[in-house]
Chains A and B, each alone.
Chain A
Amino acid sequence: MTLAPGRADTKISIRGVTKTFQARGAGRPFTALDRIDLDIRGGEFLTLVGPSGCGKSTLLDLVAGLTTPTSGQIVIDGTPVTGPGLDRGIVFQQYALFPWRTAAGNVEFGLEAKGVARRERAELARHHLALVGLTGFEDRYPHELSGGMRQRVAIARSLAFDPDVLLMDEPFAALDAQTRESLQEELLRIWERTGKTIVFITHGIDEAVYLGQRVAVMTSRPGRIKEVVAVAFDSREGDLRADRRFGEYRHHIWTTLRDEVAAARREEATPVG
């Protein structure tokens, strides 16, 4: 490959990725992402935080292969991304569960796409629902489950077909604070157990610092990566949020983003000619 990753353990390499959209009726194309460079290591938990409209989800769609970049390239394990694939699993904010399928049926969906045999599918579905703490809920339909449980099903579905990379687009944003916290803890537990590479989008700074080994801070209009903060705690045990350094990381990112939000507001106030 011409675009060899810079480091040996790089899993996802995003190189000079730009994405523009042709706005309806407007003459000039809208730049959602501008020359993004980002390397994500294998087994890393990277969080991506930024103001709304900064192109976080667009970046995730590109990594997922659902859209193609206007310029630049995304390389996973040395192979350029050309389309969606089962080496990456996505978890959406709105769960995206198939309402006509039970919890187990939803988890099996990706396995069917992968061509796993029926018996093995059922076994894997049960295993992964157990992993997210939903034993006994296999036969429930999504409308019979709470929001938190639905998101657990969605996570189980993405884990079941065993992708290397888990892409999560604000997965806990629609949940109440308590459910969110317990799911964050569980996600960390699952990550430690499975060793997946996780790219996690959020607009919550606390969530970004709590979950990420590194936090990529994005700016808006056009979307750029302003800074990548390495979050290092001595230990993840106990109440991490009460840690002094948690507060420092949090404050640092907050200050960075505040300037950004202010800039975005000014931009919004000036009519685009």
Chain B
Amino acid sequence: MADPALATRAVDEQPPRPGDQHWYDLPDDDAEPEEEPEPVVPAPRREWRPEWRSGVGRLVHRWSAVALLLALWEALPRLGVVDRVFVPPLSDDLAAGYDLLVTGQLGEHLGASLLRSLAGFALAVALAIPLGLAIGRYRPVADFLSPVLELFRNTSAVALLPVFTLLLGIGETTKITFVLYACSWPILLNTISGVRTVEPLLVKSARSMGLGPARLFQKVILPAAVPAIFTGVRLAGAYSILVLLFAEMVGAKAGLGYLIQASQSSFRIHDMYAGIIAISAVGLTFNQLLVIVERRFSTWRTSS
């Protein structure tokens, strides 16, 4: 009974997955010839060079807004439009960041944060994917676990942090468990819906070739679910840093969250901004890495 709700929620949270579209119904099947004419002659693969060049053009275009924001950050405090004390110019913040880097403080905090998020994230991947596959595949497992999952899914991880702290103390275990908890949901829900939304015709086709349940799962359902699983993993990657930061701000002696919080309360505003810049750099890098891994595993999705 809780399943449909669970599935709908999962859909709400994510960008369109290949399961939503039918790769059979691409333009050339239907009446849209102007969009993609039938390639009668073997069309050569798209040239690498022009694609790369237009890619650069797009990159410049996309980053111009970021450049503008950074320019404003530098200019507005200098022009006195905003208070320099609260928002120091970007160059000052970067200089402070450089000092932190040289003294080794930044590395120490960064290392502490990364260790926690990666540990929690890796555990979530290791636990939530198999669990999601089992729930998506086996009705009885789903019926049994769905209500509990629905309950916990709607309980904010942040609300549970005090509970984790009570049970596990204020050490590393708490923070890693906290990240694990928060990261599990997107992976779990996307895996479940990935398994459930496998095109029935593919299953039928494989069955007609005599595949039993185990081979069917290995050769059809699992590969078909990979893109959805990766969507979940990528979301989890972002969550792992977001929630950890919160945990570190509440109670920690190291980590970027601690650095930001401690700098603010001791009025080292430059350091605070340096910490913020560091955390967004970490987030961007992590996300990009996951995107690269995702591409590697799903080349068959529409090439873009």
> Which residues from chain A sit less than 8 Å from chain B, CB to CB?
64-66, 83-86, 88-90, 92, 94-96, 98-101, 109-110, 112-113, 136-137, 141-150, 161, 174, 176, 179
Contact = CB atoms under 8 A, between A and B. Distances in A.
Contacts of A92: 201, 204-205
A100 B28 contact: no
Contacts of B202: 96, 98
B301 to A, nearest CB: 8
Contacts of B48: none
Query: Could you tell me the dominant secondary structure of chain A's interface residues?
Result: loop
Contacts, number: 83
Contact of B38 (A86, A144, A147): A147
Interface in B267-304: 298-303
B24 A86 contact: no
30 contacts: A65-B208, A83-B210, A84-B208, A84-B209, A85-B210, A86-B210, A88-B208, A92-B204, A96-B202, A96-B204, A98-B220, A99-B23, A99-B300, A99-B301, A100-B223, A100-B224, A100-B298, A100-B300, A101-B300, A109-B209, A113-B210, A141-B299, A142-B300, A143-B303, A145-B39, A146-B28, A146-B39, A147-B28, A174-B30, A179-B38
A162 B210 CA distance: 14
Interface in B1-47: 18, 22-24, 26, 28-30, 38-40, 42
Contacts of A101: 300
Interface in B193-221: 201-202, 204-211, 215, 219-220
B209 A86 contact: yes
A176 B38 contact: yes
Contacts of B205: 90, 92, 96
Contacts of A145: 39
Nearest to B38: A146
B173 to A, nearest CB: 39
A139 to B, nearest CB: 9
B226 interface: yes
**Interface size classification for chain B:** 20 to 34
Interface in B130-168: none
Given A141-B299, A174-B29, A176-B38, A98 B209 contact: no
A113 B207 CA distance: 10
Contact of B29 (A64, A137, A147): A147
A94 B42 CA distance: 22
Contacts of A94: 22, 24, 201
A269 B96 CA distance: 80
Contacts of B206: 109
Given A90-B208, A96-B205, 19 more contacts: A65-B208, A84-B208, A84-B210, A88-B208, A90-B205, A92-B205, A94-B22, A96-B202, A98-B223, A99-B224, A99-B301, A109-B206, A109-B209, A109-B219, A113-B211, A142-B300, A146-B28, A146-B38, A146-B40
Contacts of A65: 208
Contacts of B211: 113
A265 B22 CA distance: 32
B207 A66 contact: yes
B42 A110 contact: no
Contacts of A113: 209-211, 215
